[in-house]
């Protein structure tokens, strides 16, 4: 790539990170009184599954300080089932709705979001969850349900391909794929939306880390994924909605740090 092009991309990225945008003479669609987009995407399938909401039966490991100390990226999964209640907790913890502001102005969730826009949808590839068929699912946060979107041919290898052959991650009990619906933010913040969307996304990912840690499960944020393939599988158009983050969650052997350490053996080998 030409240096000039590289400089252009770097400038675009840096400008977005610190909202270096001239807002003079600009009005967002909210200021122009255009209709607000839906707070979340409605179900498209008729196979809806209610998620259990009583988390008292969960064994939660430790207090907040313990969780912060224990939180780490886990990359060795033991391919066992997790319970539907554990999945329910993970979904509630990263995108769950706790209330509505106004009649239907905004959702209030377990994560913060600039202007309470919450511009994400949560999709899943499920492999090992009690009571769930393997395949694709979509979370319905307003009713705390999931909808089954269908089976996937050769599920393991398909997941592996979406995660650009990070095969350790394809061994997860399920993989979350978070999509972004940018217009939810653009309606209110217009051309200044895109940096804050990424800040919001970090909160979602961190809550998956904390909830997984609380449940004794492993996870790892994944910035390396094949967005086009994931969009195609979940039937997203890649413009009004597209995958922005993936996060596997799997069962782990807490005592097995040897395999985990092996992942970063290159640091020592290459004398970093």
Ligand X SMILES: Cc1cc2nc3c(=O)[nH]c(=O)nc-3n(C[C@H](O)[C@H](O)[C@H](O)COP(=O)(O)O)c2cc1C
Positions that interact with ligand X (CB under 6 A)? 72-73, 166, 205, 220-224
Q: Are the C-beta atoms of residues 155 and 135 closer than 8 Å to each other? A: yes
Q: Which of 10, 224 has the CB closer to ligand X?
A: 224
Query: Using CB atoms within 10 A of its CB, is residue 253 exposed (0-12), middle (13-18) or buried (19+)?
Result: middle
- Comparing CB distances to ligand X, the nearer of 210 and 220 is 220
* Cα–Cα dist 90/96, whole Å: 9
Q: What six digits make up the tokens of 18?
A: 């610190």
d(CA 105, CA 37): 10
- Nearest-5° Cα angle at 171, 134 to 207: 85
Residue (223 or 271) nearer to ligand X, CB: 223
Nearer to ligand X, 116 or 164 (CB): 164
Closer residue to ligand X, CB minimum distance, 31 or 165: 165
HSE-up of residue 184 (Cα within 13 Å, Cβ side): 23
State the nearest-atom distance from the C-beta of 127 to ligand X, in Å: 19
Which residue, 226, 238, 218, 121, is CA-closest to 172? 218
Shorter beta-carbon distance to ligand X: residue 10 or 69? 69
E strand residue ranges, the chain:
48-50, 97-101, 106-109, 120-126, 135-140, 145-150, 174-180, 217-219, 242-251
> Please, what is the minimum distance in Å from the beta carbon of residue 25 to ligand X?
35
Q: Quick one: 269 exposed, middle or buried, by C-beta within 10 A (0-12, 13-18, 19+)? A: exposed
**Least distance in angstroms from the C-beta of 166 to ligand X:** 6
Identify the CA nearest to 226 among candidates 155, 136, 165: 165
Q: How far is the CB of 206 from ligand X (least distance, A)?
A: 8
Query: CB of residue 38 vs ligand X: minimum separation in angstroms?
Result: 27
Q: Which is nearer to ligand X, 27 or 73 (CB)?
A: 73
Nearest Cα neighbor of 150 from 163, 161, 134, 131 is 134
Q: How far is the CB of 61 from ligand X (least distance, A)?
A: 17
Smallest distance from ligand X to CB 47, Å? 31
Closest approach of ligand X to the CB of residue 76, in Å: 12
Of 82 and 246, the one with the shorter C-beta distance to ligand X is 246
Per-residue DSSP letter, 24: T
């Amino acid at each position: 790539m030409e240096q000039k092009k590289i400089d252009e991309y770097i400038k675009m990225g840096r400008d977005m990170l610190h909202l270096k945008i001239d807002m003079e003479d600009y009005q967002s669609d909210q200021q122009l009184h255009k209709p607000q987009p839906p707070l979340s995407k409605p179900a498209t399938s008729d196979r809806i599954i209610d998620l259990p909401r009583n988390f008292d039966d969960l064994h939660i490991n430790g207090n907040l300080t313990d969780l912060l100390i224990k939180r780490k990226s886990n990359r060795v999964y033991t391919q066992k089932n997790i319970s539907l209640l554990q999945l329910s907790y993970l979904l509630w913890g990263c995108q769950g709705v706790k209330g509505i502001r106004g009649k239907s102005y905004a959702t209030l969730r377990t994560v913060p979001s600039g202007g309470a826009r919450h511009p994400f949808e949560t999709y899943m590839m499920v492999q090992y969850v009690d009571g769930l068929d393997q395949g694709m699912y979509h979370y319905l946060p307003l009713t705390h349900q999931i909808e089954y979107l269908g089976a996937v041919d050769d599920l393991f290898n398909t997941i592996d391909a979406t995660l650009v052959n990070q095969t350790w991650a394809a061994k997860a009990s399920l993989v979350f794929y978070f999509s972004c619906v940018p217009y939810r933010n653009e309606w209110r913040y217009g051309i200044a939306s895109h940096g804050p969307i990424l800040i919001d996304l970090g909160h979602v990912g961190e809550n998956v880390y904390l909830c997984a840690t609380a449940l004794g499960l492993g996870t790892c944020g994944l910035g390396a994924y094949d967005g086009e393939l994931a969009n195609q599988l979940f039937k997203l158009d890649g413009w009004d909605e597209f995958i922005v983050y993936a996060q596997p969650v799997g069962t782990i052997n807490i005592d097995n740090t040897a395999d985990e350490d092996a992942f970063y053996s290159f640091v020592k080998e290459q004398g970093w």
